[in-house]
Chains A and B, each alone.
Chain A
Amino acid sequence: MTRRRSAASGTDIPPLTRRYFFLGALAFSTACRQSDTQAGRRGASAVSVMRAPAYGPALSSIVGDIFAVHRLDVGGKRVVVKPNLVEFSADTPINTNPALVKAVVDELEARGAARVLVAEGPGHRRATLDMAASAGYFDFFPNLESRFVDLNLDDVTRVAIASPQSRLREIYLPNTVLGCDLLVSLAKMKTHHWVGATLAMKNLFGLVPGSIYGWPKNVLHWAGIPECIVDLHNLFPSQFAMVDGIEGMDGNGPILGQKKPAGVIVAGRDPVSVDATCCRLMGIEPERVKYLRLAGGPRIAEASVMQISEPWRPLRKSFALPPGMDDLRGG
């Protein structure tokens, strides 16, 4: 049996069999929860709110500033950038804008990332690359196929969910994201007719492979949507969350809503704190969003989030809420 040498410990480690991968994922998940607890003890997670009025040339320097302010070290790392691709549409703010994806990929490469992939697994439509073409991705990445992974069609590994919030006890996940060093959840700032808001955490639904669970990934609905959002979040401890609020969507999101220019990019290492901050910017009480409550507890309180760069209050835009969800506004 060939054995590999661990750079970290200098010990011999066995080849990466499916069983070892499974156990490794379990250990990874446990470590994640411990790390979350430590973050909770510190009581603060840094979240930046940057003004970004348009998808223009200034985007590169804004993204550079975001990475600088968070001191994000990606040197030598395998990074997966996960945008939100939902529908064939170039005219509506339904998908993460490709200009922002390009700026993020360029910045990651400039900072020495070993490999930067763009990966997504849409929930309703199967022709992912055609949808990316329709959304303008090939204008920014002429050879998109060379760095794009359709997560609905990727090889998979079964992963146990150690302390599930949902009814799921295990889930199959794509090897591309299980094997990366950093997952950049590059979400869109949108309202959502089932959970209130879809941001960096909900964006991880796109990691769940349609090849197994279908289109839509209905198993997540039956297991509890807010709870599954938390379970997926807990499985990926090494994340950097960025939310494209340059043009968001309000009203009957995440598909049938209207364009809502918010002119911001919200980012941070802790997706829970990032999403809570996004909610405040959208005029939604984070404590009233179930998945944030489940995932963050006291961490979603404003005092627990370390706000860096621009203060959020002057940038707040009141997003129209989906029908029947006025209670998200709070007092």
Chain B
Amino acid sequence: MRARNFDGGWPYVSGQSWTEVTALVVLALRSTSVELDHSVMDACRRGIDWLVTVQRDDGGFAPARAVRESTWVTSLAALALASGDTRQRAEHVARWSQAIAWLLTQKPAETSGAIGILQRLLNTPGSHPPPGGAAWYPGTAAWVAPTAMRIFALARAAALTGDPIAQHAAEQARNFLLTRRLADGGWNHGGWYAASEPVTSYPETTGMTLLALHGLPPETLRPSLDLAEAAIVHAGSLEAWAWLNMSLIAHNRRAAPEHADAPVEFPARTVRDLALGILSSNTSSPDNPFTARPA
């Protein structure tokens, strides 16, 4: 609350408000199980009002007011607009629908246009990415983290509306993530090889991907969950710890925070870290979109 800007949004550390942070803070505050006092509820409402100001005419959201492009943060903004009770969601349902529509129309550069045709003609391993992946920025390739966020947003849309198109798109995106799994069972940013040498996974992307794949048969994810259990001991950052913790709880590999003695050893370096830490402490909340059961 102290980090909030006068415009109603939140910065990463200080300075201008950012869509990613503002959306995560709204989700984190609404996921807390305690009764929200008036000032917190007002902060959430103002946060949503700020988010609305960065929605663009195409339905997507810009990362900040200074930016003139809709990007991957649209997924998080859509999740924030879809949070809260029925009355709160109804206020921005049209904007939320536009955001989901934007997400459904986006295709990464390697699967669209002439490059997509070339990739299909080449048909060599790794050159024929499946559909469903999401890019960080328009006109670029699909990567793991924006694809995971796209799944959360589309799964939420499918749960709220029963939209089969959103459901299908989320399934395609899950398939994309499975193709990006590394030999060690985890995920990095989304690259398999560096000059033909296999690379290793990152704890944070492994955690968020396991959450996005929640609902797949347990045997499909067993090696990845085994890796996540080992990785959380050496997570290296609050961000990594939070994603791993949420994924292990969601997959019943770890007790929920209220039943576990899980000390967090990592400092919160940013407001984003704080928000992820709060979400990681509220895994049973229906307003936590990362741990809510998939539709």
Contacts and interface: CB of A to CB of B under 8 A. Distances in A.
Interface of A: 18, 88, 124-131, 134, 145, 150, 153-158, 172, 193, 211-216, 218-219, 221-222, 252, 255-256, 322-324
Contact of A156 (B66, B136, B266): B66
Given A127-B237, A150-B269, A219-B140, 19 more contacts: A18-B66, A125-B204, A126-B239, A127-B204, A127-B239, A128-B269, A153-B12, A155-B15, A155-B16, A212-B63, A212-B69, A213-B137, A214-B72, A214-B140, A214-B143, A218-B137, A219-B137, A222-B141, A255-B194
* Among all A-B residue pairs, the 3 with the closest Cβ atoms: A214-B136, A127-B237, A153-B12
Contacts of B15: 154-155
Contacts of A214: 71-72, 135-137, 140, 143, 145-146
Nearest to A216: B189
19 contacts: A125-B202, A125-B204, A126-B204, A127-B273, A130-B237, A130-B238, A130-B266, A134-B236, A150-B13, A153-B270, A212-B71, A214-B71, A214-B145, A215-B145, A218-B135, A219-B137, A256-B194, A323-B195, A323-B196
B279 interface: no
Contacts of B266: 130
A219 B139 contact: yes
Interface in B1-54: 12-13, 15-16, 18, 20
A221 B273 CA distance: 28
Given A88-B236, A124-B188, A218-B143, A156 B67 contact: yes
A155 to B, nearest CB: 4
A215 B190 CA distance: 10
B197 interface: yes
Contact of A153 (B13, B69, B139): B13
A218 B136 contact: yes
Contacts of B292: none
Contacts of B69: 212
Contact of A222 (B64, B109, B189, B273): B109
A317 B128 CA distance: 40
A172 B67 contact: yes
A127 B240 contact: yes
A87 B287 CA distance: 34
Contacts of A158: 66-68
A88 B188 CA distance: 13
Contacts of A211: 12, 18, 20, 63-64
Contact of B195 (A18, A155, A193): A193
Nearest to B18: A211
B68 A215 contact: no
Contacts of A216: 143, 189, 191
Nearest to A157: B66
Contacts of A150: 12-13, 269-270
A70 B202 CA distance: 41
Contacts of A155: 15-16, 66
A326 to B, nearest CB: 13
A324 B195 contact: yes
A88 B231 CA distance: 13
A323 B12 CA distance: 39
A212 B266 CA distance: 26
A316 B15 CA distance: 46
Given A127-B240, A193-B194, A252-B195, A212 B20 contact: no
Contacts of B109: 222
A124 B140 CA distance: 15
Contacts of A212: 63-64, 67, 69, 71, 137
Contacts of B135: 214, 218
Nearest to A130: B237
Given A18-B66, A218-B135, A218-B141, A127 B269 contact: yes
Interface in B131-151: 135-137, 139-141, 143, 145-146
Contacts of B194: 193, 252, 255-256
Contact of B189 (A145, A153, A215): A215
Contacts of A215: 136, 143, 145, 189
Nearest to B266: A130
A193 B239 CA distance: 29
Contact of B140 (A129, A222, A322, A324): A222
B65 to A, nearest CB: 10
B71 to A, nearest CB: 7
Contacts of B68: 158
Contacts of B13: 150, 153
B199 interface: yes
Nearest to B14: A155
Contact of B197 (A134, A221, A222, A252): A252
Contacts of A88: 236
Contacts of B16: 155
Contacts of A252: 194-195, 197
B236 A218 contact: no
A173 B10 CA distance: 20
B211 to A, nearest CB: 16
Contacts of A18: 66
A119 B15 CA distance: 16
Contacts of B71: 212, 214
B73 to A, nearest CB: 9
A153 B239 CA distance: 15
Nearest to A213: B137
Nearest to B141: A218
Interface in B59-93: 63-64, 66-69, 71-72
